C-alpha cells in the first residue's frame, strides 16, 4: 500500500559550518582519513578559533541532504518488500546522492569540517558503503 502512495523520502541533518573568519586549510586527522577513505594529504578546511566564532572554529549551520525518489521500479521493489540495502543500492545506481556524498562534497568545498561528516552521517551509512573502512 505504501509503495503506491510514496513519492520519495528526504533525509537531512544540520551540520556546523567552518567559521569564515578563521578558516584555514588543513588535512583530515589520520583517524578521520582512515574511516572515510580519504587521502591523508587531501585539503580540507577547519576553523582555528577566533573572536567571531567564540573560539569554536565553527559558526552557523548548513544542511546535508539525501533524497530518495521512487520511480516505478523502486515502488515495485518496495511493494515486494525488498531489503532496504537493495533499495538503496538500486537508487544509488540510478543517481541518488547519499548523505555521505553531500557531506563529503561540502567538506571538500571547505564549507564544513571533516569532523562533522563523521558526527552527522549515521554510522551504518559509513559502514555500508563500498570500500568502507570500519573503525579498528
Please indicate, yes or no, if residue 72 is contained in any of the structural domains.
yes
> Which domain CATH number covers 12?
3.40.50.300
pLDDT at 61: 98
List the domain range (segments joined by +) for residue 118: 2-128
Q: Is the pLDDT of residue 132 over 60?
A: no
Please indicate, yes or no, if residue 70 is contained in any of the structural domains.
yes
Pairwise pLDDT comparison (133 vs 2), residue with the higher score? 2
Please indicate, yes or no, if residue 51 is contained in any of the structural domains.
yes
Please indicate, yes or no, if residue 81 is contained in any of the structural domains.
yes
Q: Is the pLDDT of residue 129 over 60?
A: no
Please give the full DSSP string across the chain, using - where no structure is assigned.
-HHHH--EEEEEEEEEEEPSSSEEEEPPPHHHHHHHT--TT--EEEE---TTTTTSSEEEEEEEEEEEE--HHHHHHHHTT--HHHHHHHHHHTTPPPHHHHHHHHHHTTSS-HHHHHHHS-HHHHHHSTT-----
Number of domains forming the structure of the chain:
1
pLDDT at 74: 92
Please indicate, yes or no, if residue 45 is contained in any of the structural domains.
yes
59-81 per-position pLDDT tens digit: 999 999 999 988 889 989 988 98
Please indicate, yes or no, if residue 85 is contained in any of the structural domains.
yes
Q: Is the pLDDT of residue 134 over 50?
A: no
7-60 per-position pLDDT tens digit: 888 999 999 999 999 999 999 999 898 889 898 788 899 999 999 999 999 999
82-126 per-position pLDDT tens digit: 898 899 899 999 999 999 999 999 999 999 999 999 999 987 777
Please indicate, yes or no, if residue 23 is contained in any of the structural domains.
yes
Please indicate, yes or no, if residue 134 is contained in any of the structural domains.
no
Amino acid at each position: 500500500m505504501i509503495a503506491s502512495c510514496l513519492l520519495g523520502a528526504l533525509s537531512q541533518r544540520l551540520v556546523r559550518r567552518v567559521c569564515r573568519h578563521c578558516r584555514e586549510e588543513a588535512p583530515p586527522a589520520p583517524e578521520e582519513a582512515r574511516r572515510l577513505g580519504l587521502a591523508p594529504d587531501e585539503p580540507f578546511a577547519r576553523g582555528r578559533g577566533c573572536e567571531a566564532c567564540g573560539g569554536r572554529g565553527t559558526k552557523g549551520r548548513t544542511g546535508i541532504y539525501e533524497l530518495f525518489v521512487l520511480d516505478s521500479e523502486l515502488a515495485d521493489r518496495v511493494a515486494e518488500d525488498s531489503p532496504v540495502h537493495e533499495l538503496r543500492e538500486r537508487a544509488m545506481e540510478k543517481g541518488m546522492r547519499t548523505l555521505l556524498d553531500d557531506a563529503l562534497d561540502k567538506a571538500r568545498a571547505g564549507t564544513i569540517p571533516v569532523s562533522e561528516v563523521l558526527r552527522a552521517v549515521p554510522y551504518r551509512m559509513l559502514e555500508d558503503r563500498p570500500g568502507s573502512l570500519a573503525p579498528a
